[in-house]
Structure 1
Amino acid sequence: MSFVSWLSFVGDEIGLKTLFHSSWDVYIIIALRMIRLIGFGSTSLILALYLKALGIDESYIGFFMTLTFVGDLITSFLLSLVTDQIGRKRVLILCSVVMLATGFVFTTTENYYFLLATAVIGILTPSGGEVGPFRTIEQSSIASLCHQSQRSDIYAWYTFLGSFCAAFGSFVAGSIIELTRAEWGFSEIESYKSVFGLYCILSLIGVVLSLFISGGIEAKKQSIEPRSEAPTDEESTEGSSANETTQLLANEESKPKSSFFNLLPHLSPDVYLIVLKISLLFGLDSFASSLTPLSWTSYYIKRKFGIPSSYLGSVFFITGFISGVTSLGSTSMTKRLGPVVTMVATHLPASVLLAVLPFPNSFVVTIAILVLRASMQTMDVAPKHVFLAATVPDDDRTAVFGFVNVVKTLAQIIGPSIVGVLTENGLQWVTFVVGGSLKVVYDLGVLVTFLTFNKNAAY
């Protein structure tokens, strides 16, 4: 195989050709996620440290994070129901504005209760991952913009570039803290506020970018008219290929006329059952993740090994970069193994590594575990999107994606408070063991429950 042929093969395997031929809307959606996750990665790294610097106890920090997830749950749920009715573009613009306002408040005030109210109403993440309805809208928009066979490629790049930028955000936060303290003489609290200042700038860029999205991301309504006669052979053939979005279970009925019920997804009972199972399993995984979010993980490592915040940013940049790069391999695995096998085969080893993370007393060994886990932990994200997108029609995807993401957020609510109480009592290591063990249960549950749908969902 010549070098050019080899490059072409690699480009196909990692979805680079698909990305290159995508529409501008896809590029803007990915760019929005990149910019947003730089902000999320930077602020989540220092959130617990910032609140501690303000003199807040760990239990109150956990309570702060719990209520932040509650606010995200409410806004995500409400907006996911009405997004396709009022417009995906409008909601993206609105959320970017709210994100900007959130950053402004954290930059200008130190009052705990004011910060808490802003975190609940606004958009802020303790975990380093997505919050708000952004992810829901973008996932459903990509499914609308891309052919079914291209989704795994685009979702893989969507995941990779987002993960890279979240990692880069951690590095930027550490660099800002080091620069402002060493070169400009800022106090610790002022340095942390500088990170939130960056959050404001990134949010403003997000507002501007959202304005350039076209109407192509909006949901395409799929009308299904009743037939009084049996379809001809020709009509049956056309019908079987016309709607690729219902390839798993396409037994949908006409939508009711009531404007209220039109806000809710109307799927067949079998599809509802699948969505319910997916939601419960994803919720278990999210609860496990809420026990070890980036904010608390960085706090644990800093406290255990005495690592400076600036150095900590570099550590999580490296692990995040590795995580993002390896996530590109998921599209090749999904095409060959199907999304379910890909999810479990990559996520299960990462779950085991999370459970053993607190046991080494060596910083080097701990970092080695973080790096090894990072090489696998996000390879299941794109296959998740592919599998879920294959189960529901286009004009219900935002609501269904929103429902699943709301369940995941709901599952994260209590986790940070548990971490806060355990940390205050010197037992934070327990959260890694419990979190990793629950993730193992999740992985086995996905394999047992959805293995029969594996190949059908791949394309």
Structure 2
Amino acid sequence: MASVKTRPDVQYLYAARALRGFGDGFAIIILPVYLLAIGLTPQQVGIVASVSLFGTAALTLIVGFVAPHFDLRNLFLAGAILTVVTGLSFPVVDTVAPILLVAFVGTINPSAGDLGMLIPLEHALLTQETEDRDRTRVFARYSLIGALTAAAGSLAAAVPELLASRGMPELGALRLMFYGYAVLGLLAALLYGRLPRDQMHAADRPKSSLGPSRMIVYKLAALFSLDSFAGGFVVQSLLALWLFQQFDLSLAAASVFFFCSSVLSAFSFPVAAWLAKRIGLVNTMVFTHIPPSICLIAVAFSSNLTLVLALLLVRSALSQMDVPTRSSYVMAVVTPPERTAAASVTAVPRSLASSVSPAIAGFMLAGPFSGLPLVVCGCLKIAYDLALLGMFRHTKPPEEK
């Protein structure tokens, strides 16, 4: 088998991930601005975001379960075409009903997480095209590319403001960005079109999307949902609010801090792959996850801003190391025909669980101990880590047997 460094199929997926990451990076920022500009109320914008999240979740699940019965290349192309349609549709709809329809079936995901119809397809094909010993390294690169291009895309969200300052109407500048989003989808389609067709005959395709690994997938989905529910107590916006309230942190200082935090998280992915080769995937997921939870709990009781920011940066450098290792582990412990369904089933409940806890955290922030969400998050994440270690420490991926 060719090296992962030169294998064309993997390179095409990396490039497509970069295009999608860049597009998602600016689309999720400009979408609410555009909706307000065409006359929607903040409440209606919130409804659009919720509809978009649930639509994305539903489509991700559906694709994950039907993918084993279809040629992956055709599904990739369908996803890219849907991206093009989404980018072309938003600029021409200006009433609530069609906007909700586009939001539900479209590809703009307000959570900016690893959710979307193309995610399980890419996970399955990356695993199929990679040897076991290289799988985690490939997922680390995939995650790193997604994180860095999304960050670049978020910077591109300032383009409409720049164009407006040079005389272009704001609405026209925002619509232009959606057309750019459609172009990125078209470029992704060209990349996906270069992937090989699946040579499997219809008679050889599995009858069930989840078979012998069903219980493993359901257990992992439940554990990952607990982890995401915990993480929802300290989403970035709420953490920023806590820092503003507790330490009167300036907006400029906060932007620098969160940029550094994002960079540390992104570059921890390759480190996670290196560590997983030495201590194993589950151990990497668990033992890099517990220290940042302890840091978060310590932050809740600290009154020194310098110490708080230092602890939070340590947390950022460690807390996301389970992202590529988690994806790699899920793909490793299920059979090849189950990979797309496993990726969907473990991602969708996780995303939905993380949407519940921020509302609870908002009430906690207003209570007598504003650091309570940080403590709850840290404790729940430690509970998740211990449960994961207890339930899966003996379930080894092929490269560790």
Give yes or no for TM over 0.5: yes
Partners of 1:346 and 1:376 within 8 A in 2 = yes
Is 1:403 aligned to residue 345 of structure 2?
A: yes
Match of 1:179 among 156, 162, 168: 162
Amino acid at match of 1:265: L
Residue 142 of structure 1 is matched in structure 2 by 126
Is 1:458 aligned to residue 396 of structure 2?
A: no
The Cα shift of 1:391 comes to 1.5
2:251 is paired with a residue whose SS is coil
Tell me, in whole angstroms, the C-alpha distance in 1 between the residues paired with 2:345 and 2:317: 29
Match of 1:198 among 175, 180, 183: 180
Partners of 2:290 and 2:381 within 8 A in 1 = yes
Partners of 2:64 and 2:344 within 8 A in 1 = yes
Aligned CA distance change for structure 1 residues 433 and 326 (closer, same or farther; 3 Å): same
Aligned CA distance change for structure 1 residues 150 and 109 (closer, same or farther; 3 Å): same
Q: CA-to-partner distance for each residue in 1:381-419, whole Å, 9 max, x for gaps?
A: 221122222222212222222222233244345456667
Is 1:323 aligned to residue 265 of structure 2?
A: yes
Residue 316 of structure 2 is matched in structure 1 by 374
The Cα shift of 1:139 comes to 1.0
- After TM superposition, the structure 1 stretch with the greater mean CA deviation from structure 2, 97-106 or 405-414, is 405-414
Is 1:20 aligned to residue 5 of structure 2?
A: yes
Superposition pairs for residues 235-250 of structure 1, below 5 Å? none
Match of 1:91 among 72, 75, 93: 75
Aligned CA distance change for structure 1 residues 442 and 63 (closer, same or farther; 3 Å): farther
Tell me, in whole angstroms, the C-alpha distance in 1 between the residues paired with 2:285 and 2:199: 27
Superposition pairs for residues 363-442 of structure 1, below 5 Å? 371-412=313-354, 414-415=356-357, 434-442=376-384
Q: Report the TM-score, using the length of structure 1 for normalisation.
A: 0.72
Superposition pairs for residues 22-171 of structure 1, below 5 Å? 23-47=7-31, 56-57=41-42, 61-171=45-155
Q: CA-to-partner distance for each residue in 1:399-447, whole Å, 9 max, x for gaps?
A: 222222233244345456667899999x998766544543333222212
Tell me, in whole angstroms, the C-alpha distance in 2 between the residues paired with 1:26 and 1:139: 11
Aligned residues: 397
Tell me, in whole angstroms, the C-alpha distance in 1 between the residues paired with 2:396 and 2:56: 31
- After TM superposition, the structure 1 stretch with the greater mean CA deviation from structure 2, 44-53 or 85-94, is 44-53
Q: CA-to-partner distance for each residue in 1:56-95, whole Å, 9 max, x for gaps?
A: 34x6555443332211221111111111212111111111
Tell me, in whole angstroms, the C-alpha distance in 1 between the residues paired with 2:318 and 2:356: 26
Tell me, in whole angstroms, the C-alpha distance in 2 between the residues paired with 1:448 and 1:163: 30
Tell me, in whole angstroms, the C-alpha distance in 2 between the residues paired with 1:312 and 1:50: 25
Residue 251 of structure 1 is matched in structure 2 by none
Amino acid at match of 1:199: Y
Residue 232 of structure 1 is matched in structure 2 by none
Match of 2:219 among 270, 277, 301: 277
Match of 2:210 among 249, 258, 265: 265
Aligned CA distance change for structure 1 residues 128 and 455 (closer, same or farther; 3 Å): closer
Tell me, in whole angstroms, the C-alpha distance in 2 between the residues paired with 1:177 and 1:424: 36
Partners of 1:128 and 1:293 within 8 A in 2 = no
Q: CA-to-partner distance for each residue in 1:241-272, whole Å, 9 max, x for gaps?
A: xxxxxxxxxxxxxx9xxx9x8143221xxx33
- After TM superposition, the structure 1 stretch with the greater mean CA deviation from structure 2, 205-214 or 25-34, is 205-214
- After TM superposition, the structure 1 stretch with the greater mean CA deviation from structure 2, 370-379 or 412-421, is 412-421
Tell me, in whole angstroms, the C-alpha distance in 1 between the residues paired with 2:310 and 2:165: 29
1:452 is paired with a residue whose SS is coil
The Cα shift of 1:380 comes to 0.9
Tell me, in whole angstroms, the C-alpha distance in 2 between the residues paired with 1:420 and 1:184: 40
Match of 1:307 among 248, 251, 269: 251
Aligned CA distance change for structure 1 residues 114 and 302 (closer, same or farther; 3 Å): farther
Aligned CA distance change for structure 1 residues 316 and 365 (closer, same or farther; 3 Å): same
Tell me, in whole angstroms, the C-alpha distance in 2 between the residues paired with 1:336 and 1:363: 36
Tell me, in whole angstroms, the C-alpha distance in 2 between the residues paired with 1:197 and 1:292: 34
Aligned CA distance change for structure 1 residues 79 and 94 (closer, same or farther; 3 Å): same
Aligned CA distance change for structure 1 residues 342 and 32 (closer, same or farther; 3 Å): same
Tell me, in whole angstroms, the C-alpha distance in 2 between the residues paired with 1:360 and 1:61: 36
2:393 is paired with a residue whose SS is helix
Aligned CA distance change for structure 1 residues 27 and 132 (closer, same or farther; 3 Å): same
Amino acid at match of 2:5: F
Partners of 1:164 and 1:324 within 8 A in 2 = yes
Is 1:340 aligned to residue 340 of structure 2?
A: no
- After TM superposition, the structure 1 stretch with the greater mean CA deviation from structure 2, 65-74 or 361-370, is 361-370
Aligned CA distance change for structure 1 residues 349 and 111 (closer, same or farther; 3 Å): farther
The Cα shift of 1:338 comes to 0.4
Unaligned ranges ≥5, structure 1: 1-16, 224-254
Residue 214 of structure 1 is matched in structure 2 by 196
Tell me, in whole angstroms, the C-alpha distance in 2 between the residues paired with 1:297 and 1:139: 30
Tell me, in whole angstroms, the C-alpha distance in 1 between the residues paired with 2:199 and 2:135: 16
Partners of 2:53 and 2:111 within 8 A in 1 = no
Partners of 1:44 and 1:128 within 8 A in 2 = yes
Tell me, in whole angstroms, the C-alpha distance in 2 between the residues paired with 1:32 and 1:157: 13
Residue 228 of structure 1 is matched in structure 2 by none
Aligned CA distance change for structure 1 residues 369 and 68 (closer, same or farther; 3 Å): farther
Tell me, in whole angstroms, the C-alpha distance in 2 between the residues paired with 1:183 and 1:440: 51
Partners of 1:66 and 1:415 within 8 A in 2 = no
Between the aligned residues of both structures, percent identity stands at 24
